[in-house]
Chains A and B, each alone.
Chain A
Amino acid sequence: MRKIYFYPIWLRIWHLLNALLMLLLILSGISMHYSATSSLLFPFKTGMLIHNISGILLTINYIFYFIMNIISGNIKYYVPIFKRIMSDLWIQAKYYLLDIFARKPHPFKINEKRKFNPLQQITYLGVMYFLVPIIILSGWALLFPELAPDEILGMGGVWPMAIIHAIVGFFLTIFMVGHIYLGTTGEHPSEYFQAMITGYHIVHNEQKEEIIAPQFEETSEQTYNFSLIFKNPITIAGGTISVISFTLIIVLAIIDLFRENPNPLMSTINYIILPVILFIGLILMAIGAILKHRSILKGNEVT
């Protein structure tokens, strides 16, 4: 086990500030978006003030990050190997979906040459160089709505900006939740969080270090292939239900967007019944895996 000084002080300060400002922006943004008679989180005016100030500070912080990332050369860690990107992503995804439950090590070792795994690279590249610039620019456009064109594609000029701002903000919120959750996937759940404070990344099992080709190491006495526990009828049924209902929700919502007269029955099915089915499907997947796991432990099944 050794420590690599991965995160220089500017990056840690930027990251912390970015996290705090994003959190404020998300909370105030949601508060304003859903503000009603009773203020959700903040009174509307406070929310607006927080949102505006945080947004401006975030812009400054982003410019700082953008420049420092190039000067320090940190940007090179963001660029994936595009040739193998699909297979690399699949390896990483498979790890998060299956092997992580077996406490197998991360497939892509982290060291001075590779700071992010391919999924991180793609995500961070998309977030930091696509979504964040969009939300910053659309945010500034909303700060100066009088400069917006009167009409874009038959809608008010400010309207598309607001919609884009809200949608990108939503995706960034999803990213933040996922980002924080995946931060717990270290050897110890708090390991990565400590690294972002101290700057030191802890490298485990360096002797086995393999940059590109993933090699799974058995760290558990359980020698059965962990992917088996998901191969049970309940999980597969739950997964099928989840995928179908989720796809249906998205497709029906898109149809709903272009429907002229709202249909209350379809709306109820799409926004109440299908989500319930989706959640049931997801829970079924977990229940199936747990039941399978138990039966394996009891020795009812041979691995």
Chain B
Amino acid sequence: MFIYINKEREKMDKFNTILFLLVLGLGRIYAQSNEVCLDCHNDPTLEMDKNGQTVSIYVNKSIFLQSAHNKLKCIDCHKGFNPDEIPHKANITPINCKECHKAPMDKHIFHPQIAMADGVGGSPDVNCKGCHGHHEVKTSQSPSSPINFLNSTNYCGKCHTKEKEDHLKSVHYVQLQRNNPNAPTCIYCHSNKLTPNWKLDMATLKKNQEKLCLDCHLRSTIEQSQFAKSLINYDSSVHGQAIARGNSNAAICTDCHGTHDLERASSPTSKIYRTNVPNICSQCHLPISQEYSISIHGVALTKGNPDAPTCTFCHGEHNINPVVYAPRRMFSDNHINFDVVMRTKMVYCVVCHANETMMKKYKILTTNQAHNWLPELSTHYETVRCIDCHSSYRPPNLSHNILPPSQTIKKCEECHNRNSVLMSTLYKHERAVSRQKYGFINGTLLSDAYVVGSTRNIILDTLSLIIFGVVIVVLLLHGFLRWYFYRGK
């Protein structure tokens, strides 16, 4: 039951006038004019009772006139309304936008469910009015249109509150605020098939996501992104290769950087801020991350050491990085073969640990100072990687638990019997040790810092030399006596 409530007599008079005109048979002409509709509906207090709820049926004329539909007549949308009757239609049905806007998917790819909708009503995500509003619907050129790049955050944020909250923090939003026309809006990104709503397999969604980011950050023709340099080898990185193979577990841009909330790496709340890097990597590489967190580097990082290396320092960010600059002299001064450490990746250790200024700052011995006890230093550097001794090593998997110097495993025996190349190297060392031992100097070296198995060899070597010497002397004496007693016979 619909009842008009006219609170003012004057309005009632107007209504009577319209009735009168309709009776005169001019009604049709006047009823099609917006003016006629607005005569009544321009009243802010105009309300009606609909399904037990009081709803406003006020139409703000000035808003309507600024809208995209200002050239349309009311009855173009509100079809079948009979101005003579109140209510104007026996069964008022929602307006069907699809009658004019026949291909909503062309523009609304971010809500794929719209394709299924009838364009009439439904939940706010498929209902045109949910975003575009009613009479105030804007043209795409209008600065307040949802299509305008500044507005989508707020429009979408009406429903996607969490995402809006995240996005307001993001560096993309900062760029939007600076009126950067290339900054991505909700619609810009979500016009690609990114979300599970698309009912695509995860790998495809991830590939789309990756392409979307790279289109701007690597391949943009508009503006050469500052990140393009670090991304240039992304395709050859493990992550890039894995996703190219269709591995749906592979990490893509958003897995590390976040989606709506992606912040600059310099922001302490950023997912990729220095101290957060191990956490972000631990999403997939949990055991390694755990090892790292108890390592001397991990502890230093949590203590706030600005120079402590994180995952990305050694492994690179988007690719395996070219090494940070280090003067060649640093390598030659430390008897390190640059090409070898480049190949074994130990160059990452060297660039910090051979850097005297940095090591002095933290009172750590430089590579050179720490290994001066080690004979054949350059040979060791060429054959043994830093991590072989300085991590809790369990062959064949190297540990990320880089140990403090006191706990460094001098596991010579482990390496020096793996193959004969290393074995010879051990004996080089042992010879030097035994020389020092005979010189009374080197008691400390042979203490518990050294492995039991290899010191045994010093004894065996010495013993074998003695026995061999005894045999030779005995035989020489034997032969000499034989010759001596045979003489002249």
Chain A residues near B (Cβ < 8 Å): 32-37, 44, 48, 96, 100-103, 142, 145, 155-156, 158-159, 162-163, 166-167, 170, 173-174, 177-178, 181, 184, 220, 226, 246, 249-250, 253, 256-257, 260-262, 264, 267-268, 271-272, 275, 278-279, 282-283, 285-286, 289-290, 293
Contact B481 A264 (CB under 8 A): no
- Asked if B269 is an interface residue, CB under 8 A from chain A, the answer is no
| Nearest CB in chain A to that of B477: its residue | A286
| A35-B428, A173-B468, A249-B466 known; A290 vs B479 contact (CB < 8 Å) | no
**How many chain B residues touch A (Cβ–Cβ < 8 Å)?**
52
User: Could you say which residues of chain A place their CB within 8 Å of the CB of B448?
Assistant: 260-261
Contact A286 B468 (CB under 8 A): no
Contact B470 A278 (CB under 8 A): yes
- Asked if B265 is an interface residue, CB under 8 A from chain A, the answer is no
| Nearest CB in chain A to that of B439: its residue | A264
User: Could you say which residues of chain B place their CB within 8 Å of the CB of A184?
Assistant: 479
Give 1 or 0 for each of B466-479: 1 = CB within 8 Å of chain A CB.
11111111110111
Identify 7 new A-B residue pairs, CB closer than 8 A, beyond the known A156-B414, A257-B460. Answer: A37-B428, A103-B485, A174-B467, A271-B462, A282-B474, A283-B477, A285-B477
Contact B486 A156 (CB under 8 A): no
Contact A170 B438 (CB under 8 A): no
User: Could you say which residues of chain A place their CB within 8 Å of the CB of B443?
Assistant: 262, 264
Could you show 5 A-B contacts with beta carbons less than 8 Å apart?
A32-B420, A44-B421, A156-B453, A173-B468, A262-B446
| A253-B463, A264-B437 known; A181 vs B413 contact (CB < 8 Å) | no
User: Could you say which residues of chain A place their CB within 8 Å of the CB of B486?
Assistant: 103
| A253-B463, A260-B448, A275-B466 known; A177 vs B413 contact (CB < 8 Å) | no
- Asked if B101 is an interface residue, CB under 8 A from chain A, the answer is no
Closest 9 CB pairs of A and B: A158-B417, A159-B417, A262-B446, A286-B477, A253-B463, A101-B485, A181-B475, A271-B462, A35-B424
Q: How far is the CB of B80 from chain A (nearest CB, A)?
A: 86
User: Could you say which residues of chain B place their CB within 8 Å of the CB of A246?
Assistant: 470
User: Could you say which residues of chain A place their CB within 8 Å of the CB of B474?
Assistant: 282
Contact B470 A177 (CB under 8 A): no
User: Could you say which residues of chain B place their CB within 8 Å of the CB of A272?
Assistant: 438
Contact A279 B469 (CB under 8 A): yes
**Among A145, A170, A286, contact of B464 (Cβ-Cβ < 8 Å):** A170
Contact A163 B477 (CB under 8 A): no
Q: A33 to B463: give the CA distance in the assembly, Å.
A: 14
Contact B437 A155 (CB under 8 A): no
Q: How far is the CB of B195 from chain A (nearest CB, A)?
A: 49
Contact A250 B413 (CB under 8 A): no
Q: A111 to B387: give the CA distance in the assembly, Å.
A: 66
| Nearest CB in chain B to that of A272: its residue | B438
Q: How far is the CB of A45 from chain B (nearest CB, A)?
A: 9
| A177-B472, A264-B440 known; A44 vs B424 contact (CB < 8 Å) | yes
- Asked if B418 is an interface residue, CB under 8 A from chain A, the answer is yes
Contact A145 B417 (CB under 8 A): yes
Contact A290 B481 (CB under 8 A): yes
| Nearest CB in chain A to that of B431: its residue | A36
Q: A299 to B237: give the CA distance in the assembly, Å.
A: 96
User: Could you say which residues of chain B place their CB within 8 Å of the CB of A163?
Assistant: 456-457, 460
| Nearest CB in chain A to that of B485: its residue | A101
Q: A158 to B485: give the CA distance in the assembly, Å.
A: 50
| Nearest CB in chain A to that of B445: its residue | A262
User: Which B403-421 residues have a C-beta within 8 angstroms of A?
Assistant: 413-414, 417-421
**Among B419, B431, B446, B459, contact of A253 (Cβ-Cβ < 8 Å):** B459
Contact A282 B470 (CB under 8 A): yes
User: Could you say which residues of chain B place their CB within 8 Å of the CB of A286?
Assistant: 477, 480-481
Q: A142 to B424: give the CA distance in the assembly, Å.
A: 13
Q: A86 to B456: give the CA distance in the assembly, Å.
A: 34
Contact B463 A159 (CB under 8 A): no
Which of B453, B457, B463, B472 neighbours the largest number of chain A CB atoms within 10 Å of its CB?
B463
- Asked if B482 is an interface residue, CB under 8 A from chain A, the answer is yes
Contact B463 A162 (CB under 8 A): no
Q: How far is the CB of A167 from chain B (nearest CB, A)?
A: 7
**Among B413, B466, B471, B482, contact of A155 (Cβ-Cβ < 8 Å):** B413
**Among B423, B447, B477, B480, contact of A261 (Cβ-Cβ < 8 Å):** B447
Contact A158 B418 (CB under 8 A): yes
- Asked if B452 is an interface residue, CB under 8 A from chain A, the answer is yes
User: Could you say which residues of chain A place their CB within 8 Å of the CB of B472?
Assistant: 177
Q: A32 to B425: give the CA distance in the assembly, Å.
A: 9
Q: A32 to B486: give the CA distance in the assembly, Å.
A: 41
Q: A181 to B267: give the CA distance in the assembly, Å.
A: 83
- Asked if B348 is an interface residue, CB under 8 A from chain A, the answer is no
Q: A250 to B467: give the CA distance in the assembly, Å.
A: 9
Q: A37 to B447: give the CA distance in the assembly, Å.
A: 25
Q: How far is the CB of B382 from chain A (nearest CB, A)?
A: 13
Q: A288 to B397: give the CA distance in the assembly, Å.
A: 65
Q: How far is the CB of A274 from chain B (nearest CB, A)?
A: 8
Q: A256 to B459: give the CA distance in the assembly, Å.
A: 7
User: Could you say which residues of chain A place their CB within 8 Å of the CB of B423?
Assistant: 32, 162
Q: How far is the CB of A138 from chain B (nearest CB, A)?
A: 12
Q: A298 to B413: give the CA distance in the assembly, Å.
A: 62
- Asked if B165 is an interface residue, CB under 8 A from chain A, the answer is no
- Asked if B155 is an interface residue, CB under 8 A from chain A, the answer is no
Q: How far is the CB of B307 from chain A (nearest CB, A)?
A: 36
Q: A124 to B153: give the CA distance in the assembly, Å.
A: 93
Q: How far is the CB of B475 from chain A (nearest CB, A)?
A: 5
**Among A158, A162, A174, contact of B471 (Cβ-Cβ < 8 Å):** A174
Q: How far is the CB of A298 from chain B (nearest CB, A)?
A: 15
| Nearest CB in chain B to that of A173: its residue | B468
| Nearest CB in chain B to that of A162: its residue | B417
Contact A36 B479 (CB under 8 A): no
User: Could you say which residues of chain B place their CB within 8 Å of the CB of A158?
Assistant: 417-418
- Asked if B204 is an interface residue, CB under 8 A from chain A, the answer is no
| A261-B448, A264-B440, A290-B484 known; A271 vs B477 contact (CB < 8 Å) | no
Q: How far is the CB of A192 from chain B (nearest CB, A)?
A: 15
- Asked if B376 is an interface residue, CB under 8 A from chain A, the answer is yes
Contact A289 B463 (CB under 8 A): no
| Nearest CB in chain B to that of A170: its residue | B464
Q: A163 to B419: give the CA distance in the assembly, Å.
A: 13
Q: How far is the CB of A1 from chain B (nearest CB, A)?
A: 18
Contact B453 A257 (CB under 8 A): no
- Asked if B489 is an interface residue, CB under 8 A from chain A, the answer is yes
| Nearest CB in chain A to that of B454: its residue | A159
User: Could you say which residues of chain B place their CB within 8 Å of the CB of A173?
Assistant: 468
